[in-house]
Structure 1
Amino acid sequence: MINENEKKNTRNYKRSGLAFGVLGAIVAVFVVTTLFQWKGISISINTDEPTAQADELNFGQKQEAVTQAVEETSKAVVGITNIQESRQGTQKAGNGSGVIYKEDGNDAFVVTNHHVIEGASELEVILSDGKKVKAELKGSDPFTDLAVLQIDSEHVDKVADFADANDVEVGQTAITIGNPLGMEFAGSVTKGIVSGLNRNIPVDLNGDKKPDWQTEVLQTDAAINPGNSGGALINLQGEVIGINSMKIAKAEVEGIGFSIPMNVVKPVIKDLESSGKVERPYMGVSLQDVSQVPGSVLQRELNLPADISHGVLVQGIEQGSPAHQAGLEKYDVITAIEGNKVDSLMNLRQFLYNKANIGDNIEITVYRNGEPVKTELELSAQ
């Protein structure tokens, strides 16, 4: 006969067996569900909380997208060597990067930075496979820091795609491809985000340590190092969203680099490719900021009223230029264009290059012998 203890043990065993059976069924359902998910079958789970597995999958997908984007574009990114004349002959003066953006018959075109090719007597392009080919400079523009080179199209395997500037957003993934520190680290890739749009960075064009222009750029925290200049900043689709140009190099600053956006790049390289320069409105004057002229000179020699402390001084006028035809004179002080206050030479350039067009008639206000004078000037191409 079975005593009471044996009966209890039997009942406990059955309960344990039932519990393990239920647990086994749950595990089986989980395993089947997981297998179905990996086979691409969508299973609806009633929860608002993201799972760790989903996060890992999203991370993996993003990493795969980065890899694909780099693979898509890297062959269109090249190295550029600036070769200059010296007393010892020719020598390498610097390295940078560039992007092959167009193929037309026997010719292919590369965009890079003006400062990468500045002063070169010869230019050499190093393709992604290491092959070196000679390049011809089609044109460059110091204001936007852009230049266009031409090479033989037989060497080209890939042409980069340009993104629409309107599709670029703060926070989106940004990937740089270039050649930091020359060709020692050719084809290097860094990743970050677009940190800001429509930034304006002062640029010294003549070396006097004073800003002559403000370059429009987008900001990124993806590392941009010497040698990356002229290389590509791309999105996850492998499209170029900017041409890398510079970074803030201070000990207390980290992760602030700048790239020239496509809305600036596209029209400039079109002009450089076709005519070797960017056609901009032209006045035909040499100018100096009033702020750089001693106050005693302004009042004693120019008879400028004491309350006029802004504007640009006309130092010279080209014969036959729009300024000459408009009757501007040496030592006139330009204080306004089309009713817009002119604070400095950079301010005047920004109006001419960003808001005016060749052929426009503009009203200029100048102070001459202490009195305001207005005149009409028709802008021409330089």
Structure 2
Amino acid sequence: MELKKDEEMKTLLWRKIFTGVSGTALAFLLATGVIHQQAIFSQENGTNTVQVNDPAKLTDEESKIVETVKTASEAVVSIGNMQKVSQYSGMSPFSGFQSHQYFMPDQKEKDLQLVAEGSGVIYKIEDGKAYIVTNHHVVDGADGLNVQLKNGQTVEGTLVGSDNLSDLAVLTIDASVATKALEFADSNKIQVGQTAIAIGSPMGKEFASSVTKGIISGVNRSVPVDTNGDHQADWDMNLLQTDAAINSGNSGGALINSAGQLIGINSSKLAKVGVEGMGFAIPSSDVVDIISQLESKGQVVRPALGISYTSLDVVHPDYRAQVMGLDEEDVNGAFITEVASGGAADKAGLKAYDLITAVDGQAVEKTNDLRKLLYQHQVGDTIKLKIRRGKEEMEVDVKLDSAISNEEANPLMSPEEEEETSPF
């Protein structure tokens, strides 16, 4: 009898716990809006039951977004960066298995392996090809490219051209597998607060066609980036800022407006402790200019001076004071360290250890400014540089060459030793 009483008490206790948990969970669902429709409660045999009058319905705004995303997603692809990885024979004395790090006497044929994944956007279907725009860093170093479409089909991609500085690249696939191409919006007309929807493959193709929604948080954001891999910012990119979640694998994917037009190519996010919701995309108007050059030339040809330069703050303070007559706090400008023989600067008479302080009257405060001002011009343009040579200031006209021709002219040629005192 005592055992039966204990069992009854346990049953009653569990019934109370279950009822309490169910009631709490239901209250949470109602409070958070998970259950939208009016519910009717009834008590039957001591238990609560819930009846929902009507199934949840989408608002007109939600229906529009759902249809927009469904259509736009057809043009967003996953891209696999395939690279040749050497396979070696030989046994490791430590594990008995093949070692790729220590003993490698016999190198076998290299196999293509997936080393990175990103996203891309089909923006044109023409002449039997579908054109895809993505980020340069998604395809960088690839020996082969795999493109996975919305329906899961995987095809081979062909790289047309890539540009490190803008972080953009173009590839093509056979047009027969493409069903949709996105049209570009004018990003110059984008306003802060308007809807922004990111579509891509965060963390790889396993999560392909993932969608996040937010707003445009800012326009014309100048974001310092490292373009040569030395972990130092050497270029300022003009980007759109959004709070739509952008994660690894989203790179190269679409940022669209509520009309389904492409307003940007997702590029990066600010990864910093305590910072959330700061993603960045390359504005569509900038994208159009770059990809047109990549389509026609396979590269972006930019003007160049044919110099190597650095920030003035790395120059020894004694040199700045004694040779240049500058105060210790005067660190503005681009300090020339090398001049390429036969390049634009060499032809104009510029020398190593000259300090460039302005281009066409616009001040050069940091080294990034020089590149930015330079790229506002075309190859063959003549610009006016304001320079400081020692304590003397002067203006010099320079006719710009192309960056390619300057590379061929050996931009790393050592400068003539014209100063008795080293600036470093």
Which of the five TM-score ranges fits, normalised by the shorter chain?
A: 0.7 to 0.9
> Does residue 251 in structure 1 map to residue 273 in structure 2?
yes
Query: 1:69–1:235: 8 Å Cα contact kept in structure 2?
Result: no
Query: 1:68–1:238: 8 Å Cα contact kept in structure 2?
Result: no
Q: Secondary structure at the match of 1:148?
A: strand
> Does residue 196 in structure 1 map to residue 196 in structure 2?
no
Q: Secondary structure at the match of 1:244?
A: strand
- The answer for the alignment partner of 1:261 in structure 2 is 283
| Paired AA for residue 86 in structure 2 | R
Aligned length: 323
Query: 1:164–1:262: 8 Å Cα contact kept in structure 2?
Result: yes
| Paired AA for residue 179 in structure 1 | S
Aligned with 1:135 (options 137, 142, 157): 157
1:296-348 alpha-carbon deviations (Å, 9 max, x no partner): 34446xx2112343222222222222111111112222122222221222010
| Paired AA for residue 240 in structure 1 | L
* CA RMSD, 1 decimal: 1.8
- CA gap 1:325/1:241 in 2 versus in 1, 3 angstroms: same
> Does residue 79 in structure 1 map to residue 83 in structure 2?
no
- The answer for the alignment partner of 1:287 in structure 2 is 309
**What TM-score results when the alignment is normalised by the length of structure 2?**
0.73
Aligned with 2:350 (options 322, 325, 328): 328
Aligned with 2:126 (options 104, 116, 128): 104
Query: Which consecutive unaligned segments of at least 5 residues does structure 1 have?
Result: 1-55
Query: 2:325–2:390: 8 Å Cα contact kept in structure 1?
Result: no
Aligned with 1:358 (options 344, 369, 379): 379
> Does residue 239 in structure 1 map to residue 261 in structure 2?
yes
| Paired AA for residue 314 in structure 1 | I
> Does residue 371 in structure 1 map to residue 392 in structure 2?
yes
Q: Secondary structure at the match of 1:200?
A: strand
Q: Secondary structure at the match of 2:59?
A: helix
Q: Secondary structure at the match of 1:364?
A: strand
1:197-231 alpha-carbon deviations (Å, 9 max, x no partner): 11111101223332211111111111111111100
1:157-208 alpha-carbon deviations (Å, 9 max, x no partner): 1111111223422111111110111011111111111111111111012233
Q: State the distance in 1 between where 2:127 and 2:399 align.
A: 40
Aligned with 1:174 (options 179, 196, 200): 196
> Does residue 305 in structure 1 map to residue 325 in structure 2?
yes
Q: State the distance in 2 between where 1:235 and 1:180 align.
A: 19
Aligned with 1:152 (options 167, 174, 178): 174
Bigger Cα Rg = 1
Query: 1:193–1:222: 8 Å Cα contact kept in structure 2?
Result: yes
Larger helix proportion, structure 1 or 2?
A: 1
| Paired AA for residue 110 in structure 1 | I
| Paired AA for residue 153 in structure 1 | A
Q: Percent identity?
A: 46
Q: Secondary structure at the match of 1:377?
A: strand
**What TM-score results when the alignment is normalised by the length of structure 1?**
0.80
1:16-58 alpha-carbon deviations (Å, 9 max, x no partner): xxxxxxxxxxxxxxxxxxxxxxxxxxxxxxxxxxxxxxxx99x
